[in-house]
Structure 1
Amino acid sequence: MSVLTQALRAALDSRTDLLATLHAQGTDCYRLFHGSQEGAGGLTLDRYGPQLLVQSFHQPVDRDTLLGLHAEVQQRLGLPLHLVYNDRSGGNSRIDRHDKVYSAEPAALEDMIGHEWGLDYRVRGRHAGQDPLLFLDLREARGWVKDHAKGKSVLNLFAYTCGVGLSAVAGGASEVCNLDFAEGNLAVGRENGLLNPRLPEMSFVQSDYFPAIRQLAGLPISQRRGQKLPSYPRLAQRQFDLVLLDPPAWAKSAFGTVDLLRDYQSLLKPAILATADDGVLICCNNLAKVAFDDWRDQVLRCAEKAGRPVRQWSRLGPGADFPSADGQPPLKIMVLHF
């Protein structure tokens, strides 16, 4: 038995109780092997409903190894899964879609449906973007929102495919607004809404983060000298009962730069001001190089300077399918009560 097979079996053994719990909750999207913590850095195995997504980030795996991993997972779960393999170890992995190791069956690349917390989600093993359509490590935050959204107005910032928004309407939110710059992301969010027709409709705003959140917060939109800003949707100043802020690590536009390492405050301050009195802001930072304690102190100082000191805070972590030996997973989540 190979070392990798042993590592996978150990990972699956450790998840026995977790998977039983997730299945009982109506969830079939989760991480089966978290290589950086379970013996094979740069390798992940994720289940998205009826498919198994294997991704390599440091070096490709050979075909026999890949098929062996697939067989091991199918045997353990007791059901067939469509296999998709994305080798993302090359510098041009976003563009180069040639399958040098394994070509997925056409059926494996079709649109499918996965489930989380009893909700239906569009899943695609491969699409025009680099990342999966549902970030699995944010599952606990989506569950928290579902449990605490009843009767609340919810603003989902950097909404991606609107999983948090869907969780909010499922939890009885009075209003849900999903905001994202990419229309392709929001299109999947609309699909997710249609896949759950029993739920109320959500609203969607396609906009750069900075002009949108600064309008909501009642702050001016800065303009660089000599440069004309692109057009953007006009929004009225207002606050929401529950706000989710989950930005990417880095992005740049004509309106500003998203930089979780050097300037988290420029993202956080307007989000705080767009949160209602006695409201809740859930903020995230996915940079592994940022220590939780340092980030927490930064967040609390920013709230104090904005005149909205945090009354109470708590920490949410990824689920047990994202183990962390030192208790410091890359994704850090704080729930701030004002």
Structure 2
Amino acid sequence: MTKTIDVQVNAKNIADIKKGYPLILKEAIINPDALREEGSIIRLIDRNRKFVAKGYYGNQNKGIGWVLTRKEDEEIDFDFFESKIAAALARREALFADPETTAFRLFNGEGDGIGGLTIDYFDGFYMVSWYSEGIYSLKHHVYGVLDKIVDYKGVYEKKRFDTKGQYIEQDDFVKGEQGEFPIIVKENGMNFAVNLNDGAMTGIFLDQRDVRKAIRDNYAKAKNVLNTFSYTGAFSVAAALGGAVKTTSVDLAKRSLAKTIEQFSVNGIDYEQQDIKVMDVFDYFRYAKRHELKFDLVVLDPPSFARSKKYTFSTAKDYPALLKDAIAITEKNGVIVASTNNSSFGMKKFKTFIEQAFNEAGSKYKILEESSLPKDFRTNRDFPEFNYLKVVILQKLK
């Protein structure tokens, strides 16, 4: 039986919780000393000991846990987890039925009712990611539900949380059959090689599915494409399949070369006809300017924070300068896919970065389209901070 403890919440945060805010913030708790063992079920109460909500204790970033229910008599047990996961499955029925897409987010944390937990689907294999020790201590419920309601080939997990002051990224085989990696999944008819037992990344960021489709279908034909911070080259694959004349993929990580070759190869694309450069993106911008290289389509999707020997980069302060560099090597009437997954600012702020960069570059632009997370990355529309992805596709006018 999971222990339940009473935790007092201050009045300001009670109002937010009642409106549906799911994260239990550290500063919201009046009696933090009551929190001892992660995974405990916590009853949130006001100063008069009146019930507010129920959740679990698990340290994750600025939160100490997540609200799970606002019903006092609802138990946080196997049936609770089954109801949430079954509802998430039902919402993704169209994706399960689509033979052209065999990889997607099955369960998206607080958007599907259980913060700190995500489940991704990869053609019969399931990847469960745990974001705190607290939710991990409730894993028996989640795995029990998967045993009961899904027909899986195999289940893997990634632990993404602090333990004894040390952040760990650990992946493990859990049950079923072990995959022979890479396995090839489909996304809107494109092939991608994924590994579920090879560290933090699988080989593809599932949240950019809609953007890859847009690049392939609407922006790549007959274009010279630059893909920066290219990781395994997924945007480059989409561009090549969309008829790009040539793609150039740039990433500092040494393993990006072999991974990008692999992604081209599983799509029948001759990687030798593409450029794959293992180098710092900022160095590449200088190289491109020196050699007067210009591109018709530039993809700019940096990590929120990155550190190399020369630079420390943060999208929150450095995105305008990065975009300004991209503008300089984009052809007139060329297209820039500006993207960020930094949750610390919203779309409105992101657009001010775009405006600043073009002003400083002495250039003009128009927005062609904008997007955020795809539907399987379910979020609460009242709390945009959880809808972290911001993508603006724009055209350089001069």
* TM-score normalised by L of structure 1: 0.85
Q: Out of 302, 325, 333, which is 2:391 matched to?
A: 333
Deviation for aligned residue 1:33: 0.3
Gaps of 5+ in 2: 1-77
Question: Which structure shows the bigger proportion of residues in strand conformation?
Answer: 2
Q: In the alignment, is residue 71 of structure 1 matched against residue 142 of structure 2?
A: no
Q: Out of 130, 151, 157, which is 1:85 matched to?
A: 157
5 Å matches for 1:36-115?
36-59=110-133, 60-62=136-138, 64-72=140-148, 74-75=150-151, 80-91=152-163, 92=166, 94=168, 103-104=174-175, 107-108=178-179, 110-115=181-186
Counterpart in the other structure of 2:243 = 172
Q: Provide the secondary structure at the position in 1 that maps to 2:231.
A: coil
Deviation for aligned residue 1:48: 1.7
Alignment-mate amino acid for residue 140 of structure 2: D
- Given that residues 50 and 113 in structure 1 are in contact (C-alpha distance below 8 angstroms), is that contact kept between their aligned partners in structure 2? no
Deviations along 1:37-96, one digit per CA (max 9) or x if unpaired, are 111111000012231101111231455324324335524xxxx33211122223445465
Counterpart in the other structure of 1:285 = 340
Deviation for aligned residue 1:313: 3.8
Deviation for aligned residue 1:215: 2.4
Which moved further from structure 2: 48-57 or 197-206? Answer: 197-206
5 Å matches for 1:144-293?
144-147=214-217, 148-197=219-268, 201-218=273-290, 236-293=291-348
- Given that residues 54 and 86 in structure 1 are in contact (C-alpha distance below 8 angstroms), is that contact kept between their aligned partners in structure 2? yes
Q: 1:192 to 1:289 in 2, by over 3 A?
A: same
Deviation for aligned residue 1:258: 1.6
- Given that residues 229 and 301 in structure 2 are in contact (C-alpha distance below 8 angstroms), is that contact kept between their aligned partners in structure 1? yes
Counterpart in the other structure of 2:206 = 136
Deviations along 1:249-296, one digit per CA (max 9) or x if unpaired, are 111223322211122122111011111110000011111111110111
| Identity score, percent | 26
- Given that residues 4 and 39 in structure 1 are in contact (C-alpha distance below 8 angstroms), is that contact kept between their aligned partners in structure 2? no
Deviation for aligned residue 1:326: 2.2
Deviation for aligned residue 1:216: 1.6
- Given that residues 324 and 361 in structure 2 are in contact (C-alpha distance below 8 angstroms), is that contact kept between their aligned partners in structure 1? yes
Q: Distance in 1 between matches of 2:170 and 2:201?
A: 14
Q: In the alignment, is residue 12 of structure 1 matched against residue 84 of structure 2?
A: no
Counterpart in the other structure of 2:16 = none
Deviations along 1:204-248, one digit per CA (max 9) or x if unpaired, are 000011111122245xxxxxxxxxxxxxxxxx2311101100000
Q: 1:64 to 1:312 in 2, by over 3 A?
A: closer
Alignment-mate amino acid for residue 168 of structure 1: A
Q: Distance in 1 between matches of 2:363 and 2:162?
A: 45
Q: Provide the secondary structure at the position in 2 that maps to 1:90.
A: strand
Q: In the alignment, is residue 305 of structure 1 matched against residue 375 of structure 2?
A: no
Counterpart in the other structure of 1:230 = none
- Given that residues 367 and 392 in structure 2 are in contact (C-alpha distance below 8 angstroms), is that contact kept between their aligned partners in structure 1? no
Q: Distance in 1 between matches of 2:246 and 2:145?
A: 43
RMSD: 2.1
Deviation for aligned residue 1:175: 0.5
Deviations along 1:130-165, one digit per CA (max 9) or x if unpaired, are 222110001111001101211001100000010000
- Given that residues 272 and 303 in structure 1 are in contact (C-alpha distance below 8 angstroms), is that contact kept between their aligned partners in structure 2? yes
Q: 1:89 to 1:95 in 2, by over 3 A?
A: closer
Q: In the alignment, is residue 29 of structure 1 matched against residue 103 of structure 2?
A: yes
Q: Distance in 1 between matches of 2:316 and 2:323?
A: 13
Counterpart in the other structure of 1:221 = none
Q: Distance in 1 between matches of 2:243 and 2:147?
A: 41
Q: Distance in 2 between matches of 1:94 and 1:213?
A: 33
Q: Provide the secondary structure at the position in 1 that maps to 2:161.
A: coil
Alignment-mate amino acid for residue 197 of structure 2: R
Higher RCO, Cα 8 Å, sep 6+: 1
Gaps of 5+ in 1: 219-235
Q: Provide the secondary structure at the position in 1 that maps to 2:111.
A: helix
**Which stretches of structure 1, 4 residues or more, deviate above 6 A after TM superposition?**
none
- Given that residues 153 and 177 in structure 2 are in contact (C-alpha distance below 8 angstroms), is that contact kept between their aligned partners in structure 1? no
Deviations along 1:96-152, one digit per CA (max 9) or x if unpaired, are 56x5xx745672363211111212211111214x22211000111100110121100
- Given that residues 245 and 283 in structure 1 are in contact (C-alpha distance below 8 angstroms), is that contact kept between their aligned partners in structure 2? yes
* TM-score normalised by L of structure 2: 0.73
